[in-house]
Structure 1
Amino acid sequence: MPRRRNEKLRALLAEARWTQSSLARSVNALAAEIGLNLTYDRTAVAHWLSGTQPVPPVPALVAEAFARRLGRPLPPGATGFDVSRASGADGVAGRATERNRRVESVLAELCGEENDPARRAFARLRPYREADLADVRRAAPRSLPLETAARRGTDEGDLAVVRLAVRFYAASFDAHGGRRGRSSLAAHLADDIVPLLREAREETVRRSLFVETSRLSFLLARMQQDASAHGLAQLHFTTALRLAAESRDRTAWAVVLRGMSSQALTLGHRRAALHAAEAALGDGRGGLDGAAGAFLLSQLAVAQAACGARRAALDSLGRAERASASPASHSDAAGPFTAYSPAALAYQSAEVFRYLGGLPAARKSLDRSLARRPAEDHRGIALSHARRAEILVGSGHVEEACASWQLFLDHCAVLRSGTADNAVSRMQQLLAPFSRVPAAAAVLDRVRTSEALRRTL
Structure 2
Amino acid sequence: MGALEPNAALERLYRETGWTMRQLAQEINRVGTERGTPLKYQQPSVTQWLNGQLPKESARPVILEAFARRLLRPITHSEAGFPAPRRGSTPQPPTLDGLVDLGRQDMDPSRRGVLGVGLFSVALTIPGWPDAVGRMDAMRTDPKRRVGQAEIQSVKDMTDRLSDLDDDFGGRYARPMAAAFLVNTVAPYLKATASSETRKSMISAASLLCYLTGWMAVDEGAHGRAQEYYVKSLELAGASGDRMTYCHVLRGMSVQAANLGHGAPAVRLANAAAEASPDSGARMRAFMAGQQAHAYALAGEKTNALNSLREAERAVNQAESQGRRFGGFSSATLAYATAEVRHALGDPKGSVESLHDHFRLRDSTDRQRSKLIFSSLLAERQLQIGHLEAACTTWNTILDEYPAIHSGRIDGQVRRIPSLLSPYRSNPLARQIYERSRELSAK
Query: TM-score, normalized by length of structure 2?
Result: 0.71
Which whole-Å CA distance do the structure 2 matches of 1:427 and 1:144 have between them?
43
* Displacement of 1:185: 0.6
Which whole-Å CA distance do the structure 2 matches of 1:376 and 1:398 have between them?
27
Instruction: Tell me the equivalent position of 1:386.
Output: 376
Q: Write out per-residue CA displacement over residues 289-335 of structure 1, whole angstroms, 9 at most, x where no aligned residue.
A: 33333222211110001111112111111222333344499766x87
Which whole-Å CA distance do the structure 1 matches of 2:85 and 2:402 have between them?
35
Instruction: Tell me the equivalent position of 2:305.
Output: 313
Instruction: Tell me the equivalent position of 1:142.
Output: 130
Which whole-Å CA distance do the structure 2 matches of 1:96 and 1:374 have between them?
47
* Displacement of 1:439: 1.6
Change (3 A) 1:447 1:114: same
Change (3 A) 1:439 1:98: farther
Instruction: Tell me the equivalent position of 1:228.
Output: 221
Q: What root-mean-square deviation, in Å, do the aligned CA atoms of Structure 1 and Structure 2 show?
A: 3.0
Instruction: Tell me the equivalent position of 1:357.
Output: 346
Instruction: Tell me the equivalent position of 2:387.
Output: 397
Instruction: Tell me the equivalent position of 2:66.
Output: none
Q: Does 1:370 align with 2:363?
A: no
* Matched ranges for 1:337-356 at <5 A: 339-356=328-345
* Displacement of 1:199: 1.8
CA contact (8 A) 2:338 2:351 kept: yes
Q: Does 1:262 align with 2:255?
A: yes
Which whole-Å CA distance do the structure 2 matches of 1:345 and 1:98 have between them?
45
Which whole-Å CA distance do the structure 2 matches of 1:441 and 1:97 have between them?
59
Change (3 A) 1:340 1:211: farther
Instruction: Tell me the equivalent position of 2:414.
Output: 424
Structure 2: unaligned runs, 5 residues or longer: 1-77, 134-146
Matched residues, percent identical?
31
Structure 1: unaligned runs, 5 residues or longer: 1-90, 146-153
Change (3 A) 1:117 1:378: closer
Change (3 A) 1:288 1:214: farther
Which whole-Å CA distance do the structure 2 matches of 1:417 and 1:269 have between them?
22
Which whole-Å CA distance do the structure 2 matches of 1:200 and 1:440 have between them?
62
Instruction: Tell me the equivalent position of 2:142.
Output: none
Q: Secondary structure at the match of 1:157?
A: helix
Instruction: Tell me the equivalent position of 1:411.
Output: 401
Query: TM-score, normalized by length of structure 1?
Result: 0.69
* Matched ranges for 1:170-209 at <5 A: 170-199=163-192, 201-209=194-202
Instruction: Tell me the equivalent position of 1:14.
Output: none
Paired residue type of 2:379: A
Instruction: Tell me the equivalent position of 1:280.
Output: 273
CA contact (8 A) 1:97 1:235 kept: no
CA contact (8 A) 1:382 1:409 kept: no
Q: Secondary structure at the match of 1:131?
A: coil
Which whole-Å CA distance do the structure 2 matches of 1:123 and 1:387 have between them?
27
CA contact (8 A) 1:369 1:384 kept: no
Q: Does 1:324 align with 2:312?
A: no
Paired residue type of 2:130: R
Q: Secondary structure at the match of 1:288?
A: coil
Paired residue type of 1:428: P
Change (3 A) 1:240 1:393: same
2:98 to 95, 98, 106: 106
CA contact (8 A) 1:96 1:235 kept: no
1:438 to 423, 428, 439: 428
Q: Write out per-residue CA displacement over residues 188-223 of structure 1, whole angstroms, 9 at most, x where no aligned residue.
A: 011111122222532333322222221111111111
Paired residue type of 1:182: R
Change (3 A) 1:286 1:110: closer
CA contact (8 A) 1:378 1:414 kept: no
CA contact (8 A) 2:418 2:438 kept: no
Paired residue type of 1:242: E
Change (3 A) 1:383 1:118: closer
Comparing 349-358 with 373-382, greater Cα deviation is found at 373-382
* Displacement of 1:228: 1.1
Q: Secondary structure at the match of 1:413?
A: helix
Instruction: Tell me the equivalent position of 2:31.
Output: none
Q: Secondary structure at the match of 2:364?
A: coil
* Displacement of 1:117: 7.1
Change (3 A) 1:286 1:317: farther
CA contact (8 A) 1:175 1:415 kept: yes
* Displacement of 1:375: 7.3
Which whole-Å CA distance do the structure 2 matches of 1:97 and 1:118 have between them?
30
CA contact (8 A) 2:415 2:437 kept: no
Instruction: Tell me the equivalent position of 1:33.
Output: none
CA contact (8 A) 2:415 2:441 kept: no
* Displacement of 1:178: 1.1
Paired residue type of 1:405: W
1:447 to 416, 437, 443: 437
Which whole-Å CA distance do the structure 1 matches of 2:377 and 2:415 have between them?
13
* Displacement of 1:102: 3.8
Aligned length: 345
Change (3 A) 1:326 1:228: same
